[in-house]
A = this chain, B = another copy of it.
Amino acid sequence: MKSTITPVPTADVTTASKARGRGPMRSGVVNMKDVAERAGVSTSTVSRVIAQNPAVHEQTKERVLAAMADLNYVVNGLAQSMQGRGSRAVGFLVSHMVGPTFADVAQGVEEEVAKLGDLLTIITTHADPSGEMKALQQMREQRARAVLLVGASPTGQDYEERLRKYQEFLSATDTQLILCGHQHVSSVPGLQSVDYDNIGGIRAAVEHLAALGHRRIAYLGAAEGHSTAEQRLRGFELAMKDSGLDLDPAIIPASTFEVEPCEAALENLVSTGADFTAVIAARDEIAVRALRVFRNHGLSVPDDVSLVGFDDMPFMGDLTPALTTVRVPYRELGRRAGMLITDSGPDSPQVLPVELVVRASTSALHE
**Interface residues of A, Cβ cutoff 8 Å to B:** 9-10, 24-30, 72-84, 86-87, 89, 96-100, 102-104, 106-107, 110-111, 114, 117, 119-124, 137-138, 140-143, 168, 171-174, 288, 291-292, 313-316, 318-320
A291–B315 Cα distance when bound, in Å, is 12
Residues of B within 8 A of A83 (CB): 24
8 tightest CB-CB pairs across the interface, nearest first?
Answer: A77-B141, A320-B320, A97-B107, A9-B172, A72-B172, A74-B140, A315-B315, A78-B78
- Closest B residue to A97 by CB, please name it: B107
Residues of B within 8 A of A117 (CB): 138
- State the oligomeric state as a number of copies: 2
| Residues A84 and B318 in contact, CB atoms below 8 Å apart | no
Q: 19 more A-B contacts (CB under 8 A) besides A9-B172, A288-B318, A320-B320? A: A10-B172, A26-B84, A28-B174, A29-B143, A29-B174, A75-B141, A76-B143, A77-B143, A79-B82, A80-B141, A87-B138, A96-B107, A97-B107, A111-B124, A114-B123, A119-B138, A119-B142, A313-B314, A319-B320
Residues of B within 8 A of A143 (CB): 29, 76-78
- Contacts A74-B141, A77-B138, A77-B141 known; A24 to B172 CB distance under 8 Å? no
Residues of B within 8 A of A9 (CB): 168, 171-172
- Contacts A25-B84, A141-B75 known; A319 to B314 CB distance under 8 Å? no
A110–B123 Cα distance when bound, in Å, is 7
| Residues B82 and A76 in contact, CB atoms below 8 Å apart | yes
Residues of B within 8 A of A77 (CB): 138, 141-143
* Contact among B74, B120, B142 for A173, CB-based, below 8 A: B74
Kindly provide the distance from the CB of A271 to the nearest chain B CB, expressed in whole angstroms.
Answer: 21
| Residues A110 and B97 in contact, CB atoms below 8 Å apart | yes
| Residues B86 and A107 in contact, CB atoms below 8 Å apart | no
Kindly provide the distance from the CB of A69 to the nearest chain B CB, expressed in whole angstroms.
Answer: 11
* Contact among B106, B119, B142 for A78, CB-based, below 8 A: B142
Residues of B within 8 A of A320 (CB): 319-320
19 A/B residue pairs, CB under 8 Å, sorted by A = A9-B172, A30-B172, A74-B140, A74-B141, A76-B82, A76-B143, A77-B138, A77-B143, A78-B81, A78-B87, A89-B119, A97-B103, A97-B107, A98-B103, A102-B103, A119-B138, A120-B122, A121-B121, A320-B320
Kindly provide the distance from the CB of A232 to the nearest chain B CB, expressed in whole angstroms.
Answer: 21
A138–B140 Cα distance when bound, in Å, is 21
A319–B288 Cα distance when bound, in Å, is 10
| Residues A124 and B98 in contact, CB atoms below 8 Å apart | no
- Closest B residue to A316 by CB, please name it: B315
| Residues B98 and A107 in contact, CB atoms below 8 Å apart | yes
A128–B171 Cα distance when bound, in Å, is 38
| Residues A122 and B103 in contact, CB atoms below 8 Å apart | no
| Residues A82 and B78 in contact, CB atoms below 8 Å apart | yes
A27–B97 Cα distance when bound, in Å, is 34
Kindly provide the distance from the CB of A51 to the nearest chain B CB, expressed in whole angstroms.
Answer: 13
| Residues B114 and A124 in contact, CB atoms below 8 Å apart | yes
| Residues A29 and B119 in contact, CB atoms below 8 Å apart | no
| Residues A121 and B119 in contact, CB atoms below 8 Å apart | yes
A75–B291 Cα distance when bound, in Å, is 53
- Closest B residue to A173 by CB, please name it: B74
| Residues B141 and A76 in contact, CB atoms below 8 Å apart | yes
Residues of B within 8 A of A140 (CB): 74
* Contact among B80, B106, B121, B313 for A315, CB-based, below 8 A: B313
Which of A74, A78, A315 neighbours the largest number of chain B CB atoms within 10 Å of its CB? A78
